[in-house]
Chains A and B, each alone.
Chain A
Amino acid sequence: MKTFRRILFLGVLAVSAGLAVNRINPRGIPWRLLLLTWTAGTGSGERTTAEDAYIGMMDQKMVFIDLRDGQAFGIDHISDATLMPFLDLARHPGSLDGWDREKTYVLYDFDAKSRIPAMALNLMKARGFRNVSVLSEGFAGWLERGFPREFGGAL
């Protein structure tokens, strides 16, 4: 019993100390990222199918935001997409301040099940963006449908 009490204390201490160190560490996990994982979720109005996104692309009404890292973006990405690695966005949400809030943004990660676009959506909404949605099928679904993509770009 004493052993398990000690283990419990050790666990609580590890969590507290871990979060405290993370808070002061400049390369730590941003707090808003840890909080976003609890609240991230999208309603039906916040998701765009690949087909609708493709039509929006043809009409030049949508801006695609690639949330993956530079290396993945450099391999291939949706045509004319803008790279915004999610970790950079989470660390520096102020970088969105210069963006046009009247445009329609479609966020995507590679995997359709990824929660990263939902977290990024919450971040952007908190900064005053209204026309933001998540690409339902992800980049994987986009590729499956044979929709246009580009190769190369920022690494």
Chain B
Amino acid sequence: MAENVVDPEKELRTLLVKFDALGNITRATWYEFRQAALDLAPQLKPMDLALHAWEVVGHDTSKAYVNSLDLSKPSFLEDIAKLIVQSSTMMGETARLVKSQKPNEVFVEWDRCPWPEFARKYGATMEEDVLGCDMWFQTVIKDINEIFGTDVKLETTHAIPRGDKTCTRRLTMSDRHKKKGAKGQGEGAAKGDAKKHGGK
């Protein structure tokens, strides 16, 4: 029957439109909540508020990440980068993993990010956007290092809100952790620590 025919384009398009709208609502809500907090607590500095909020988000994100990471795998660093790409894509950004020639180095590159546009719309500074984002990732990395005993480092080399063409983040870790990552040991440690941080 004609009315039961599924139009794949229509279905996908509907989902895409909803996803896009939801992303925008999320960003708008973030800044509206920020405004409400500043209205209620005028002594707060917007930057301090933003950094703290992103730190809270970072802790939550790291809980989700640790269950997908396995220190015994040689791809540990790359897997962190992949998770960052995944989170970013889910938030409406366009990001990709860029492999390096060096073994313990990987990059995440964003060429599209809707967040600065919302920052501008709601009167937040571009620097708040950059540093907020940094705080998110640095918190995630800090938690991962605590849980896995690693020394992963994340560095922001380019930022769209600062006028760069992309946002680029460089992830590195030293060799010594790879040796430590015997199968089973890392996994158990990771899962045990994840529980402390409220992971499943």
A and B are partners in one complex rather than unrelated chains: no
What residues of chain B have their CB less than 8 Å away from a CB belonging to chain A? none
